[in-house]
Amino acid sequence: MAQTNGGCSLALIFIIVLLLAKANIDVCKRGDVTVKPSRVISLGSAVNISCSLKPEQGCSQYPSVNRLILYKFDRQIHFLHGYSLSSQVTGLPLGTTLFLCKLACSKNKEFRICGAEISVGVVPEQPQNLSCIQKGEHGTVTCIWDRGRDTHLYTAYTLQLTGPKNFTWQRQCNDHYCDHLDLGINLTPELPESSYTAKVTATNSLGNASSIPSTFTFLDIVRPLPPWDIRIKCVNASVSRCILQWRDEVLVLLNRLRYRPNSSRSWTMVNATNAKGRQDLLDLKPFTEYEFQISSKLHLYKGSWSDWSEPFRTQTPEEEPTGTLDVWYMKQPIDYNRQQISLFWKNMSVSEARGKILHYLVTLQEVAGGKVTMQNITEHTSWTWIIPRTGNWAATVSAANSKGSSPPTRINITDLCEAELLAPRQVSANSEGVDNMMVTWEPPGRAAPAVQEYVVEWREPHSRSDTQPPLNWLRSPPYNVSALISGNIKPYSCYEICVCALSGDQRGCSSIRSNSKHKAPLSGPHINAISEEKGNIVISWNEIPAQEQMGCILHYRIYWKEQDSNSQPQLCEIPYRVSPNSHSIDSLQPGVTYVLWITALTAAGESPPGNKREFHLQGEDAATLGQAPDRLAHS
């Protein structure tokens, strides 16, 4: 079978040679072109190009009729009458230039005689910066180098490796831009300190150049593969001791580890010797997403580090919560015997929760008895009870995850504003942009040294038809007399702001209403009833819907005038806090029918009038609105 293959190969070569010979005969059948000293020259050299006709290939037997022309590409550079022509050419550029010799027997017709390509180049420069590497203990040796300038000629690069016991191995690269080569052999660790020498030689038609030999050992050039199969195990499912494990190549001596929480950009670095694929980590945070990477090296001083492994990401186990919850409360009387207690608390930070908070344990007890009266588990961050108004009460709240509970936060339920001497003074709030307000106050006079902390709370005003709005608060040290409230402040909404000074179980507070942005209300109050009492009339109205108030209502104005009168209406202005939903007027004349309406004012201006109502004051025989000729008048 081998002989058959060899015979086929020889036949194929013979056919190719015949075809090339025939092509050459066809192209140059009329004559020849010769180039001296060579068709490959160095930059700056001159060449002689000769063109000659073969016998009986001219236009005529008379030489003067034969006109030979030499072309450089498509440009005529020389001509001569006769059977031959010779020309010296200089200044050829780098690269290949085509010359053609043609025969002109008439002005309009030329015949191709033959041609030649002349290549201009330079001798190869010495290859520089030769270095070799073997990726992994079972990889192959690959070397790279800097070629230097382009030779503009076909240049072969031969890489040779020699070693102990007369070992020699070489490969050639024929790529025009060759600057690396894989030798296809593997160096083994049997003789890790044995020396090997690599050398690369560049060769073309003009000369050759060899690199400075590069000498190395197995340990110098073998770069380990990156570690793989990374995993982590935490002893007793506790983050106090976690073991990072991985797989490595057999000869690895050194490892370096880097890890970080996913939320961080900086790495923690650990170096390990003879780790054998495991490393204890004692500083991990619980319930945190981490990213781990590992690199390897064969020798303390020799060789190079492997690439970093693929990132390994995992979440550490939970631990029981630390710290305590920030708890606040509201206290509202229901009747003479009962009161409503509403507890609120903030979510723990991730570092305090140390896991997913599953629920909260809330207890309420009477201080005198010390016995838990009520206990509840909730997933929410608030809870409400109704309890007697008598006695002193205390509440505790703790957070629980899968590993345990936080220490309980205890808070005594007292009247928030019972200590008047502790009430902060001159409370004010000013807008600090669209969604921020700066609250300022002055300390409570002589009681200021007793203040342990301030609590600033805020919420939107409570509407009778709505659910209780959420309560927000922040704590401030006793030396601060201002606080920035932000994050959930809506423009054109009015907030009730209260500053409480705390001293032990005593509390004093001062309240204001404020908004971050305001304009005139969009509508006026709606009068829902007018009645007569002892010669006066009492007007009741509904509040403007919260979304139409456009800020804090500061005043109401009640307008009235006699029916069908063209005179200017009379008015009285009522501060909002005095009587938010009703007011009495005593300046109306009996026996007269009046038209009344109400407007509301913010710091930005007055609302449009609300609905208009007529009322006839009857004097001593007072009648309610149902008995009087009170009817709705269209605005």
Who contacts 494 (Cβ-Cβ below 8 Å, separation ≥6)? 460, 461, 513, 514, 515, 546, 549, 551, 552, 553
Is pLDDT at 507 greater than 60 in this prediction?
yes
pLDDT tens digit sequence for 174-188: 877 899 999 999 998
Nearest to 122 by CA among 208, 212, 38: 208
Domains 128-222 and 420-514 share a fold: yes
Q: What is the mean pLDDT of residues 333-360?
A: 92
pLDDT band at 366 (very low <50, low <70, confident <90, very high): confident
Judge contact between 411 and 329, C-beta under 8 A: yes
Task: Read off the amino acid at residue 514.
Answer: S
Rounded Cα gap, residues 539 and 580, in angstroms: 11
- Entry field: residues in the chain: 635
Q: In terms of DSSP bridges, do strands 555-562 and 570-575 run parallel, antiparallel, or are they unpaired?
A: antiparallel
Q: What is the mean pLDDT of residues 515-528?
A: 90
Who contacts 318 (Cβ-Cβ below 8 Å, separation ≥6)? 286, 287, 354, 355, 356, 401, 402, 403
pLDDT band at 463 (very low <50, low <70, confident <90, very high): low
Peptide bond into 37 cis (omega under 30): yes
**The pLDDT of residue 11:** 46
Q: What is the mean pLDDT of residues 34-40?
A: 93
**The pLDDT of residue 290:** 96
Tokens of 281: 């980590």
**The pLDDT of residue 628:** 38
Q: What is the DSSP letter of 39?
A: S
CATH 2.30.110.10: does it fit domain 224-315?
no
Rounded Cα gap, residues 561 and 615, in angstroms: 10
**Residue 595, beta-bridge partner list:** 561, 614
Q: Buried b vs exposed e over 331-360: b needs ≥16 C-beta within 10 Å?
A: beeeeeeebebebbbeebeeeebbbebeeb
**The pLDDT of residue 61:** 66
**The pLDDT of residue 205:** 92
Q: What is the DSSP letter of 224?
A: P
pLDDT band at 616 (very low <50, low <70, confident <90, very high): confident
pLDDT tens digit sequence for 574-592: 888 755 788 888 888 888 8
The CA radius of gyration of the chain, in Å to the nearest whole number, is: 50
The domain 327-413: what is its CATH number? 2.60.40.10
Who contacts 347 (Cβ-Cβ below 8 Å, separation ≥6)? 353, 357, 381
Angle at 122 between CA 116 and CA 128, to 5 degrees: 145
pLDDT tens digit sequence for 233-291: 999 888 989 999 999 999 999 999 999 999 999 999 999 999 999 999 999 999 999 99
The domain 128-222: what is its CATH number? 2.60.40.10
Q: What is the mean pLDDT of residues 79-105?
A: 91
Q: Could you tell me the CA-to-CA distances from 588 to 59, 187, 282, 538, 619 in Å, in that order?
A: 138, 114, 84, 11, 10
Percent of the chain residues topping a pLDDT of 90: 57
Q: Which residues of 174-241 form beta strands (DSSP E)? A: 180-182, 195-204, 207-210, 214-217, 222-223, 228-234
**The pLDDT of residue 355:** 93
pLDDT tens digit sequence for 405-434: 999 999 988 877 777 889 999 999 998 877
Tokens of 269: 């670095």
**The pLDDT of residue 109:** 83
Is pLDDT at 634 greater than 60 in this prediction?
no
Domain boundaries, the chain: 24-121, 128-222, 224-315, 327-413, 420-514, 526-633
Rounded Cα gap, residues 396 and 635, in angstroms: 56
Judge contact between 79 and 70, C-beta under 8 A: yes
pLDDT band at 464 (very low <50, low <70, confident <90, very high): low
615: how many CB neighbours lie within 10 A of its CB?
A: 25
Q: Buried b vs exposed e over 9-36: b needs ≥16 C-beta within 10 Å?
A: eeeeeeeeeeeeeeeeeeebebbebebe
Q: How many CA atoms lie within 13 A of 94 on its CB side?
A: 9
Q: In CATH, which of 3.40.50.150, 2.60.40.10, 1.10.3720.10, 3.40.50.300 is domain 24-121? A: 2.60.40.10
Backbone torsions φ then ψ of 594, nearest 5 degrees: -115, 155
**The pLDDT of residue 368:** 79
Is pLDDT at 372 greater than 70 in this prediction?
no
Is pLDDT at 466 greater than 60 in this prediction?
no
Q: What is the mean pLDDT of residues 293-297?
A: 96
pLDDT band at 391 (very low <50, low <70, confident <90, very high): confident
Judge contact between 85 and 75, C-beta under 8 A: no
pLDDT tens digit sequence for 98-137: 999 999 887 778 889 999 999 999 999 999 999 999 999 9
Q: In CATH, which of 3.40.630.30, 3.40.470.10, 2.60.40.10, 3.40.1390.20 is domain 420-514? A: 2.60.40.10
Backbone torsions φ then ψ of 236, nearest 5 degrees: 55, 30
Is pLDDT at 615 greater than 90 in this prediction?
no
Is pLDDT at 626 greater than 50 in this prediction?
no
Is pLDDT at 436 greater than 90 in this prediction?
no
The domain 526-633: what is its CATH number? 2.60.40.10
Q: Annotate 342-409 with DSSP letters as a single string.
A: EEEEPPPPHHHH-S---EEEEEEEETTT-SEEEEEEESSSEEEEEEESSS-EEEEEEEEETTEEPPPE
Rounded Cα gap, residues 261 and 49, in angstroms: 75
Write down the mean pLDDT value for the chain: 87
Q: What is the mean pLDDT of residues 4-26?
A: 44
**The pLDDT of residue 25:** 42
Q: How many CA atoms lie within 13 A of 437 on its CB side?
A: 27
**The pLDDT of residue 597:** 93
Who contacts 304 (Cβ-Cβ below 8 Å, separation ≥6)? 133, 223, 297
**The pLDDT of residue 13:** 41
Judge contact between 159 and 198, C-beta under 8 A: yes
